[in-house]
């Protein structure tokens, strides 16, 4: 074997020993494209599942808002304060020294299109309870045997136009009612 033939054989075998940079980049690009597609598909599937199970849409947002408002009312009344009156969108708290009025307002949302539910407390300021497409919010007091035992809250929601397109028709509007039980007021 001549010296030139043996050098040529070394060069040929050297070229086929590893993976070239071009092959590596192509492989990474293909894997990244497949991974991105799979993640998008899994997110879409999870969203469709959540919508179909009622975890998204107007009813879910309404339930979540009422849970939040109910917890705020429980927090306010657990510190020895008592509810002395409940009207359409406000209630009065008595701490033994003074009475303050906490009210709920429906305002234009931060996006300029929807309406938000805002709790206004003179002591703690304003709290956005629901930033979405709220239509109405009402409260009524529940009285049993002359004692105020709870507050019934009702909220009507309508999914925003951009969200309504991806929701089932029964998930676009909701009217949800719940009751917040008050601690016994002696």
pLDDT of residue 139: 92
C-beta of residue 93 within 8 angstroms of C-beta of residue 82: yes
Give the pair of three-digit tokens for residue 155.
């909220």
Residues 46 and 80 both lie in one domain: no
**Residues linked to residue 151 through DSSP beta bridges, in sequence order:** 141, 180
Each residue of 50-76: pLDDT tens digit?
655 555 677 888 888 889 888 988 888
pTM listed for this prediction: 0.62
CA distance 137 to 158: 12
Each residue of 69-84: pLDDT tens digit?
889 888 888 777 888 8
Residues 26 and 83 both lie in one domain: no
Residues 80 and 43 both lie in one domain: no
Length of the chain: 186
Mean pLDDT of the chain: 80
Residues 40 and 109 both lie in one domain: no
Tell me if 110 is assigned to some domain: yes
Backbone angles phi, psi at 152, to 5 degrees: -90, 130
Residues 125 and 76 both lie in one domain: yes
Residue-range definition of the domain harbouring residue 120: 58-181
What percent of the chain clears pLDDT 90, i.e. is strictly above it? 13
Tell me if 78 is assigned to some domain: yes
C-beta of residue 83 within 8 angstroms of C-beta of residue 89: no
Residues 159 and 75 both lie in one domain: yes
Residues 136 and 67 both lie in one domain: yes
Residues 43 and 81 both lie in one domain: no
Among the listed residues 178, 160, 157, 159, the one whose alpha carbon sits nearest the alpha carbon of residue 66: 178
Tell me if 7 is assigned to some domain: yes
| pLDDT of 125 above 80 | yes
Tell me if 48 is assigned to some domain: yes
Tell me if 186 is assigned to some domain: no
């Amino acid at each position: 074997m001549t010296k030139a033939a043996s050098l040529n054989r070394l060069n040929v075998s050297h070229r086929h020993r590893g993976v070239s940079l071009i092959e590596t980049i192509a492989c990474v690009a293909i894997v990244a494209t497949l991974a991105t597609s799979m993640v998008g598909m899994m997110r879409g599937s999870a969203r469709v599942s959540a919508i179909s199970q009622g975890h998204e849409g107007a009813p879910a947002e309404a339930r979540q808002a009422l849970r939040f408002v109910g917890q705020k009312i429980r927090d306010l009344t657990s510190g020895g304060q008592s509810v002395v009156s409940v009207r359409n969108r406000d209630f009065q708290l008595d701490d033994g020294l003074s009475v303050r009025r906490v009210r709920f307002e429906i305002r234009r949302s931060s996006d300029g299109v929807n309406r938000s539910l805002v709790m206004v407390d003179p002591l703690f300021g304003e709290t956005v309870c629901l930033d979405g497409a709220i239509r109405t919010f009402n409260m009524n007091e529940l009285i049993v045997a002359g004692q105020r035992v709870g507050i019934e809250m009702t909220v009507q929601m309508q999914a925003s136009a951009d969200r309504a397109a991806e929701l089932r028709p029964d998930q676009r509007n909701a009217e949800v009612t719940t009751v917040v039980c008050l601690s016994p007021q002696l």
